[in-house]
A and B are shown apart, each in its own frame.
Chain A
Amino acid sequence: MRVALAGNPNAGKTTLFNTLTGLRHHVGNWPGKTVEKKQGMWTYQGESIEVTDLPGTYSITPYAEDERVAKEALESGAFDAIINIVDAANLEHHLYLTLQLLDRHLPVTVFLNMSRRAKKKGIRIDATALSAALGVPVIAGEANSEEAKTRIGRLLTHRRRLQDQGHLPKAEQRALPNDQGESRSADEVRQQVKAIAEMAIHAPSRIPSRSDRVDKIATGPGGIPLFLIIMAMTFQMTFVASAPLSQLIETGITSLGGVVGLLHLQPAWLASLVVDGIIGGIGAVLVFIPSIFLLFLLLSMLEDSGYMARAAYVMDRSMRRMGLHGKSFLPMVLGFGCNVPAVMATRTLEDRHSRLLTILLIPLMSCSARLPVYVLFAGAFFPARAGMVIFLLYILGILMALLMGILFRRTLFRRKELHLLLELPPYRLPMVKNTLITAWDRTLLFIRNAGTIILSTVLLIWFLASVPQGVAYASRHSLIGRIGILAAPLLSPLGFGFWEAAVALLFGIAAKEVIIGTFAALYGTAATGLGPALQAHFTPLSAASFLVFVLLYTPCAAALGAIRREAGAKWAAFTAGYLLVLAWIMAFLVFQLGTLAGWS
């Protein structure tokens, strides 16, 4: 039997889903959408139940992409039962969706989540009265308890039996709900919610909660400094803790390549395909995994704790300067880790314009793959001020986002005001199991979405670097070398008009950190000995110009793929193009102004 979980964001939907399915679930995309689709299996007394976790939604009227997905799924008639989870501490708000579901004659069972918070607040709910008022079964319990699981299972199997005996229509027999439910106005539904709530909820008089006290700091004048500290710590922890693992993976890949090289595969191109193409390509994906997973873990902890909504709140005012509101901030923060999940995260934004604009600006958030390039160049050319140089690059990216945001808002997205309606969930300790599962799911999704693109781009580049037959890999005689020689004159005004730089930048489109490996291959040194080799080609000024170019130019293939899926091929092409032009102009300014100032 097929069951869907529906409910408001923060109702405990994910917790219940994890309780029901444990680790027996997988995450994919809804057909044709980039919205996460979570499905899991659960066997209760021999009955196998397929559970689908719908995106959280406040109402059945869709405003954002994920809400549209939830609405379509609910109305598709594909489910035998719909478990609507409502939080006891927030019942009056959550019943709105419940009534909308009932208006559509959907097979709803209400799960009343008696969260710890509700208990602490002394909120009591008369589940029987609620059930009578709604006319559907109400199960009360804790979303993370085995008892809840059993009771839901019992109810579902009972429903199944009724269906088998013909007392209840099955999913496929039920007439599709028409839109008549929408004839009730929001106001009427609200009135009914109020009446039901008054009857069923016994809440003690309110005392200022702990969340209010934390909010005094988090949303007060100290909110922005606090936010900056939390973000700095998040990224610091991500990079510090994941570095040894990434290092280990890199070493493993390199030695694997070495071992395979010893096999002397024949013909030579096959050996090259395996070592440079396949192993190199898989390696390019694998080295990302520790940092991506850790970043997702920390961010989902922040999300689960309720803090992320506060970050959106404190950043709202600054974001408005570039024509976005606070909610766009979360995707942009993700962009510092990796642009791919950042682009994916824009689906929670309600209006299309904000969403597109956010997507266009995300590549300006310097992702972690660009960092190794900065570290290498800054270390080689500005050893005394390497940290400062890297910091300035991040700031430059943000400034460019601000500037381009204002520009796009004036030209492409001229428009009315920006609405903000943002729930600030109560603070709580993040649940370890939930955050681990969420982080792991997102990492898998990243591997699947980005991995294939990175891998195929790496293979394409391997091909370009290996033809015509018999050339040394990625040498000036290879196809890519020739492209590099053609492109080099375009880079001369920027200070690095030699073919190796052009080839490295082309390779960088596969994944930004590949730039380093390319230089190493072209200059015939190990990555560790790259500093002196670079110093022979770059001056400090042209190195600075190169770094600015790397920061700003065309995003990597995986990010472009994500943009294409979210916004369409047209916008992906536009992003690639505008960033290339912007990078060229900025690098040009750096090099030419620097030359004028006599820094060359």
Chain B
Amino acid sequence: MARRSRLSDASEGDMLILQRYDGDSVFQQRLQERGLGPGSIVQVLRNDRKNPLILKSGETRIAVGREDAMHMQAVIATDAAQGEGRGPSCVSTRPQALSRTPPRMIRRRSHARRARR
């Protein structure tokens, strides 16, 4: 299993694959529409642990609120590329940064709620 952690704990320069956002469904949809849904690859341009994060998605830079980033899971892209790897040899650009917090794997509500306007 790839290392998974909160987006808010990522380090600057990391390439990440975003996972789920466990907050309200309206914002979840907004994230998806702006290319920050589960499975999107982003680079962390700035994370100073105080201000919002700045992510780069394609050629677009988007600032995401720190509180929102705390509710987003992410894995390091190189890590995930190793697949749902068995081996201990997860190659990661910044392993120490992401292992700082224990992985949270909360599976919550299905996507059924999304079907509202």
Within 8 A of A (CB), among B80-114: 111, 114
By size class, the interface of chain B is 35 or more
The answer to whether A326 and B52 touch across the interface, beta carbons within 8 angstroms, is yes
The answer to whether A314 and B51 touch across the interface, beta carbons within 8 angstroms, is yes
A392 CB-CB contact with B under 8 Å: no
A75 CB-CB contact with B under 8 Å: no
A420-B37 contact given A89-B59, A182-B117, A212-B45, CB 8 Å threshold: no
The answer to whether A219 and B59 touch across the interface, beta carbons within 8 angstroms, is no
With a cutoff of 8 Å between Cβ atoms, the chain A residues found around residue B62 in the complex are 421-424
Binds B, one of A40-48, A124-132, A184-192: A184-192
The answer to whether A93 and B54 touch across the interface, beta carbons within 8 angstroms, is no
A148-192 to B contact mask, C-beta < 8 Å, 1/0: 000000000000000000000000000000010010011101100
The answer to whether A419 and B45 touch across the interface, beta carbons within 8 angstroms, is no
With a cutoff of 8 Å between Cβ atoms, the chain B residues found around residue A93 in the complex are 34-35, 57-60
B68 CB-CB contact with A under 8 Å: yes
Bound state CA distance, A325 and B24, in angstroms? 17
With a cutoff of 8 Å between Cβ atoms, the chain A residues found around residue B61 in the complex are 211, 215, 423-426
Smallest distance from the beta carbon of A225 to chain B beta carbons, Å?
14
B28-65 to A contact mask, C-beta < 8 Å, 1/0: 01111111111010000110101110100111111111
The answer to whether B58 and A92 touch across the interface, beta carbons within 8 angstroms, is yes
A119 CB-CB contact with B under 8 Å: no
Within 8 A of B (CB), among A285-333: 309, 312-314, 316-317, 325-326
| A96 and chain B: residue at smallest CB distance | B33
The answer to whether A420 and B35 touch across the interface, beta carbons within 8 angstroms, is no
Bound state CA distance, A424 and B60, in angstroms? 7
Q: Give the contacting residue for B52; candidates A215, A220, A221, A420; CB below 8 A.
A: A420
A90-B52 contact given A186-B32, A421-B65, CB 8 Å threshold: no
| A221 and chain B: residue at smallest CB distance | B48
The answer to whether A58 and B67 touch across the interface, beta carbons within 8 angstroms, is no
Smallest distance from the beta carbon of B117 to chain A beta carbons, Å?
7
Smallest distance from the beta carbon of B85 to chain A beta carbons, Å?
24
The answer to whether B34 and A313 touch across the interface, beta carbons within 8 angstroms, is no
With a cutoff of 8 Å between Cβ atoms, the chain B residues found around residue A421 in the complex are 27, 30-31, 34, 36, 62-65, 68
Smallest distance from the beta carbon of B37 to chain A beta carbons, Å?
6
With a cutoff of 8 Å between Cβ atoms, the chain A residues found around residue B46 in the complex are 215, 219-220
Bound state CA distance, A579 and B98, in angstroms? 49
The answer to whether B35 and A313 touch across the interface, beta carbons within 8 angstroms, is no
| B51 and chain A: residue at smallest CB distance | A317
Bound state CA distance, A90 and B60, in angstroms? 7
Bound state CA distance, A61 and B50, in angstroms? 31
Bound state CA distance, A560 and B114, in angstroms? 39
The answer to whether B33 and A186 touch across the interface, beta carbons within 8 angstroms, is yes
The answer to whether B67 and A418 touch across the interface, beta carbons within 8 angstroms, is yes
Within 8 A of B (CB), among A415-459: 416-426
The answer to whether A316 and B32 touch across the interface, beta carbons within 8 angstroms, is no
Smallest distance from the beta carbon of B21 to chain A beta carbons, Å?
10
The answer to whether A325 and B65 touch across the interface, beta carbons within 8 angstroms, is yes
A121 CB-CB contact with B under 8 Å: yes
A368 CB-CB contact with B under 8 Å: no
Q: Give the contacting residue for A190; candidates B24, B32, B60, B111; CB below 8 A.
A: B32
A63 CB-CB contact with B under 8 Å: yes
Bound state CA distance, A179 and B115, in angstroms? 12
Bound state CA distance, A265 and B52, in angstroms? 65
The answer to whether B51 and A316 touch across the interface, beta carbons within 8 angstroms, is yes
A59 CB-CB contact with B under 8 Å: yes
With a cutoff of 8 Å between Cβ atoms, the chain B residues found around residue A182 in the complex are 117
Within 8 A of A (CB), among B1-41: 23-24, 26-27, 29-38, 40
Q: Give the contacting residue for A58; candidates B34, B52, B68; CB below 8 A.
A: B34
Of the candidates A63, A179, A189, the one having the most CB atoms from chain B within 10 angstroms of its own CB is: A63
Bound state CA distance, A159 and B46, in angstroms? 47
With a cutoff of 8 Å between Cβ atoms, the chain A residues found around residue B67 in the complex are 417-419
The answer to whether A313 and B65 touch across the interface, beta carbons within 8 angstroms, is no
The answer to whether A63 and B30 touch across the interface, beta carbons within 8 angstroms, is yes
The answer to whether A90 and B58 touch across the interface, beta carbons within 8 angstroms, is yes
Q: Give the contacting residue for A186; candidates B37, B64, B65; CB below 8 A.
A: B37
With a cutoff of 8 Å between Cβ atoms, the chain B residues found around residue A419 in the complex are 23, 27, 30, 65, 67-68
Residues of A within 8 A of B (CB): 58-59, 61, 63, 89-90, 92-93, 96, 121, 179, 182, 185-187, 189-190, 203, 211-212, 215, 219-221, 309, 312-314, 316-317, 325-326, 416-426
> Can you name 15 extra interface pairs (CB under 8 A) apart from A186-B33, A313-B51, A313-B52?
A92-B58, A93-B57, A182-B117, A185-B111, A215-B61, A219-B54, A221-B48, A312-B63, A316-B51, A416-B24, A419-B30, A421-B36, A422-B62, A423-B60, A426-B61
A-B contact pairs, 24 of them (CB 8 A): A61-B33, A92-B35, A93-B34, A93-B59, A121-B59, A186-B33, A186-B37, A186-B114, A190-B33, A313-B52, A416-B24, A417-B23, A417-B68, A418-B67, A419-B23, A419-B27, A419-B30, A419-B68, A421-B36, A421-B64, A421-B68, A422-B52, A424-B54, A424-B62
Task: Identify the 7 closest CB pairs spanning chains A and B, nearest first.
Answer: A420-B65, A186-B32, A424-B61, A422-B63, A59-B33, A92-B58, A419-B27
